[in-house]
Amino acid sequence: MKGVQDFFEKYAFGVCTKLGEKLRIPTSSIRIFFIYTSFLTFGSPVLVYLMLAFVMNFRKHLRRRNSLWYY
């Protein structure tokens, strides 16, 4: 089961894990929240998840660069 979870975290942006670490909430609770709210609101939390993934990815790329003249 841990292998499946690691696979999904690697290819699913790691949003739930990062939120769990920041908020000190179990990752499984956050995943269940996203799943249940997706069913209740017809998928709108998926958009929130994708926006969070975009912001996390954008911030990761900003941290890599040390100066504006990186190129």
Quote the pLDDT of residue 25. 92
The residue that leads in pLDDT, 58 or 11, is 58
Of 60, 33, 59, 61, the residue nearest 48 (C-alpha):
33
Tens-digit pLDDT profile for residues 24-60: 999 889 888 888 998 899 888 888 888 988 888 887 7
Alpha-carbon distance values, 59 to 4, 28, 41, 52, 53 (Å): 26, 24, 28, 11, 10
pLDDT at 64 over 70: no
pTM over cut 0.85: no
Element (H, E) at 11: helix 2-11
**Mind giving me the DSSP string for 24-44?**
T--HHHHHHHHHHHHHHTTTH
Distance CA 37, CA 56 (A): 21
